[in-house]
């Protein structure tokens, strides 16, 4: 996954973590078969194991937040200190001390890693985060049970052997959900790119249409907004200035949207606003506020100060159901009427407007 990932996302540290843990487990296995002396395999397994869980924290934090702080690498000092202490005290040759210290550090690393995944979930709501945090948290709980089983076996809910075995199983689950999280994140980014207007950063026509129901019920409203004489802005000031006007307009209008409203660029200088739970009068008032906001906006570009106006067509469903296509036709007719009557105004669709258009 690290090789395939463009941004890394902490996968390199996680891969190194799993490799270190595999080496630690291999040394412990060789020691249990009496192929290595206790001082050798005990020292190697405790140092490699703690290194593995330090790298695990580094990788998970990078994966979760998208950022890697230099101070995170300071966690590698903990296994280094443990190695020095082990050489000085020989605690690693005593099984319960070696197991308690190693699993205690695993518990700390896994607990803070699970907390990090959940904390960053507010910023990135992906389903795999919950499953990943649960797997990591369960692994931390099992590591704590190993410690309890070694120090106070009478109150332990399971033996250290069973707890350790189950913790190994959770490591497989963690690896699986890390891969799923990276895949979900890639898919979400592809959807975002496909549904975002690259110039203004707001939703494009595809995104905007996906936000609207196929059948519009009473209380739904649509605004179609067109920048007046936009071609003249491009001809007089250049396309860079035209782009600056579009970006400034989109940014200004985005800040006025209510939660639940949808604002997107439909193409060229045309924008759309979908207003759920809005009456015709409320929709017209909203359109008038947007018109004033555009009228008061001055865009500075290349030493020039550019002012512009917009025309807005308003269509609202008041009683019966209306198809999405019909609502667009109504708003388009109202927009036509706004332009035909002098521009820089918002017009609410009425039956007579359709005939005129």
Query: If you ran DSSP here, which 8-state letter would residue 294 be given?
Result: H
Name 178's Cβ contacts closer than 8 Å, sequence gap at least 6.
1, 11, 14, 63, 132
**Which single residue is written with the structure tokens 């067509």?**
313
Nearest to 273 by CA among 252, 255, 257, 293: 257
Contact, 130 vs 121, CB < 8 A?
yes
How far apart are alpha carbons 229 and 342 in whole angstroms?
A: 12
Active-site residues, by number, are 269
Q: 287-299 burial, b if ≥16 CB within 10 A, otherwise e?
A: beebbeebeebeb
Q: Are 314 and 284 in contact (CB under 8 A)?
A: yes
Q: Tens place of pLDDT for every residue, the chain, 357 residues? A: 777 777 778 999 999 999 999 999 999 999 989 999 999 999 999 999 999 999 999 999 999 988 878 888 999 999 999 999 999 999 999 999 999 999 999 999 999 999 999 999 888 889 999 999 999 999 999 999 999 999 998 888 899 989 989 998 999 999 999 999 999 988 988 899 999 999 999 999 999 999 998 888 888 999 999 999 999 999 999 999 999 999 999 999 999 999 999 999 999 999 999 999 899 999 999 999 999 999 999 999 888 899 999 999 999 998 777 888 999 999 999 999 999 999 999 999 987 665 444
The structural domains of the chain, ordered by start, are 11-194 (no CATH), 205-356 (3.30.70.270)
Angle of helix 38-65 relative to helix 160-194, nearest 10 degrees, comes to 30
Q: Please give the Cα distance from 167 to 152 (Å, whole number).
A: 19
C-alpha dist (Å) from residue 79 to 51, 55, 128, 293, 341: 6, 10, 30, 60, 77
**Which two structure tokens, joined as six digits, stand for 312?**
């807005």
14 with 68: CB under 8 angstroms?
Answer: no
Place of tokens 């050489």: 87
Q: Are 60 and 113 in contact (CB under 8 A)?
A: yes
Tokens found for residue 342: 């002098």
């Amino acid at each position: 996954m690290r090789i395939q990932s463009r941004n890394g996302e902490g996968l390199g540290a996680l891969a190194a973590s799993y490799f270190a843990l595999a080496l630690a487990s291999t040394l412990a296995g060789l020691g249990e078969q009496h192929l290595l002396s206790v001082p050798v395999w005990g020292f190697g397994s405790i140092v490699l194991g703690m290194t593995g869980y330090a790298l695990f924290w580094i990788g998970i934090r990078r994966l979760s937040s998208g950022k890697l702080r230099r101070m995170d690498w300071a966690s590698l000092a903990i296994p280094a200190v443990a190695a020095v202490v082990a050489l000085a005290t020989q605690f690693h040759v005593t099984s319960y001390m070696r197991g308690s210290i190693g699993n205690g550090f695993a518990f700390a690393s896994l607990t803070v890693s699970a907390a990090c995944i959940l904390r960053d979930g507010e910023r990135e709501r992906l389903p795999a985060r919950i499953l990943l945090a649960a797997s990591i948290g369960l692994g931390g709980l099992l590591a704590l049970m190993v410690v309890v089983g070694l120090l106070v076996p009478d109150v332990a809910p399971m033996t250290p052997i069973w707890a350790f075995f189950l913790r190994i199983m959770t490591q497989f689950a963690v690896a699986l959900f890390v891969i799923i999280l990276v895949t979900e994140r890639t898919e979400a980014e592809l959807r975002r790119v496909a549904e975002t207007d690259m110039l203004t950063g707001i939703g494009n026509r595809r995104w905007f249409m996906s936000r609207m129901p196929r059948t519009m019920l009473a209380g739904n409203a649509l605004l179609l907004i067109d920048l007046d004489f936009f071609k003249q802005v491009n001809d007089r000031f250049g396309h860079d200035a035209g782009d600056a006007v579009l970006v400034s307009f989109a940014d200004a209008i985005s800040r006025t949207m209510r939660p639940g409203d949808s604002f997107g660029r439909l193409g060229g200088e045309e924008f759309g606003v979908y207003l759920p739970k809005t009456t015709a009068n409320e929709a017209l008032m909203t359109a008038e506020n947007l018109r004033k906001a555009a009228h008061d906006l001055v865009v500075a570009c290349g030493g020039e100060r550019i002012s512009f106006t917009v025309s807005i067509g308003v269509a609202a469903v008041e009683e019966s159901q209306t198809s999405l296509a019909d609502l667009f036709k109504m708003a388009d007719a109202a927009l036509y009427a706004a332009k035909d009557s002098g521009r820089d105004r918002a017009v609410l669709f009425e039956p007579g407007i359709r005939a005129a258009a």
